[in-house]
């Protein structure tokens, strides 16, 4: 497709994950945009875009990972700077969308914070959102602007297919994850099981029983997000109790607290496979036995297709070349 008449593509990064933004720019073959992002002495965010973006197609890479409020505010300020600099279109590239678990009123007098965040992003001047593996897919409907929701499944499959894990069983660590786990099981041509859990508190989970057979199988636990690691470590334990061999976990967003690191270190999970949707420390890599897969090509391809007004649905294919 001829893109000579299209606005010039520009990619900028906040401070949340500059390394991923640089990898995306390298994949596309353009330099990362020049922007100064820092904080004033009182903690306020200071942003300046140091190049002309009038009439440009601007993509701002900023996962809203911890510190969530700071990174979200930084994204909003960057968007406002780009809007006031007369960018033709602004796309927020959010590999990880914070506040995604607060997507409904499950108790009296609580907010739907995911909707509030969607409103803030739209009000700031974002024209489009590009994200990966939302914790709750209905969040797409919280926005009054287009949302391109990519899946990390092809990235994980390319890695998993290079390994001999047979006999393999894919396990959803809770009932809500069955649909995603079923996609993995079908793509890997293997059996599916799930763990039924009961949440005791924000940090404690009781995995009650296993639905399916994992005896004699190597288990792959599949989830989109882990923060305290209570769900996946509890699921790993119950799989082991039912005769599973090795246990690995594939989690798109490993937003690991200190509690999660401790739990994973002492758990039955031999390897945690995740993506670089958020930064990972060297200590986490070692303590949690992590393998980090790069999603820069996935996001880069999404950006190229959005910029070229092409469909991104081809990236949903489990055999997508990225």
Mean of all residue pLDDT scores within the chain: 93
- Catalogue the active-site residues: 197
Between 113 and 283, the higher pLDDT residue: 113
Degrees, nearest 5: CA angle 304-155-78: 45
What are 5-26's pLDDT values in tens digits? 789 999 999 999 999 999 999 9
For residue 111, name the pLDDT band (cuts at 50, 70, 90): very high
Q: How far apart are CA 248 and CA 221, in angstroms?
A: 6
Prediction pTM value:
0.93
> In the chain, where are the structural domains located?
9-150+296-316, 154-293
User: What is the layout of strands, in order, in the sheet containing 290-293?
Assistant: 205-211, 191-199, 168-172, 218-226, 247-254, 269-275, 290-293
Q: Do domains 9-150+296-316 and 154-293 have the same CATH topology?
A: yes
- Annotation: CATH topology of 154-293: Rossmann fold (3.40.50)
Instruction: Enumerate the H helices of 152-295 as residue ranges.
Output: 153-160, 178-188, 230-241, 258-265, 282-287
Q: What's the confidence (pLDDT) of residue 204?
A: 61
Task: For residue 94, give both structure tokens.
Answer: 């959010």
What is the CATH number that goes with domain 9-150+296-316? 3.40.50.2020
Q: Which residues, listed in sequence order, are joined to residue 60 by a DSSP beta bridge? A: 12, 92
For residue 248, name the pLDDT band (cuts at 50, 70, 90): very high
What are 74-97's pLDDT values in tens digits? 999 999 999 999 999 999 999 999
Peptide bond into 26 cis (omega under 30): no
Helix axes 153-160, 178-188, angle to 10 degrees: 40
Going by C-alpha positions, the residue among 190, 191, 195 that lies closest to residue 175 is: 195
């Amino acid at each position: 497709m001829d893109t000579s008449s299209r606005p010039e593509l520009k990619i900028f990064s906040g401070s949340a994950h500059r390394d991923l933004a640089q990898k995306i720019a390298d994949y596309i073959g353009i330099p990362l945009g020049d922007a100064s992002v820092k904080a004033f002495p009182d903690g306020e965010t200071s942003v300046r875009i140091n190049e002309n973006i009038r009439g440009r197609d601007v993509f701002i890479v900023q996962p809203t990972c911890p510190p969530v409020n700071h990174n979200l505010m930084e994204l909003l300020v960057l968007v406002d700077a780009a809007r006031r600099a007369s960018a033709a279109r602004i796309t927020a590239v959010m590999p990880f969308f914070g506040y995604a678990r607060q997507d409904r009123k499950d108790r009296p007098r609580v907010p739907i914070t995911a909707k509030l965040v969607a409103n803030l992003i739209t009000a700031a001047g974002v024209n489009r959102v590009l994200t990966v593996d939302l914790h709750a897919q209905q969040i797409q409907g919280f926005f009054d602007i287009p949302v391109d929701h990519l899946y990390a499944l092809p990235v994980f499959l390319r890695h998993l297919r290079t390994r001999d894990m047979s006999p393999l069983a894919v396990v959803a660590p809770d009932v809500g994850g069955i649909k995603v786990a079923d996609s993995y099981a079908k793509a890997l041509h293997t059996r599916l099981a799930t763990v039924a859990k009961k949440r005791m508190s924000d940090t404690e989970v009781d995995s009650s029983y296993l639905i399916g057979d994992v005896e004699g199988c190597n288990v792959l636990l599949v989830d989109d997000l882990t923060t305290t690691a209570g769900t996946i470590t509890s699921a790993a334990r119950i799989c082991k109790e039912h005769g599973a061999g090795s246990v690995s976990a594939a989690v798109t967003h490993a937003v690991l607290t200190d509690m999660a690191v401790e739990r994973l270190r002492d758990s039955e999970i031999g390897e945690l496979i995740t993506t670089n949707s958020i930064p990972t420390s060297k200590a986490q890599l070692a303590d949690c036995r992590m393998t980090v897969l790069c999603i820069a090509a996935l996001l880069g391809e999404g950006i190229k297709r959005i910029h070229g007004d092409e469909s991104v649905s081809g990236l949903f294919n489990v055999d997508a070349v990225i």
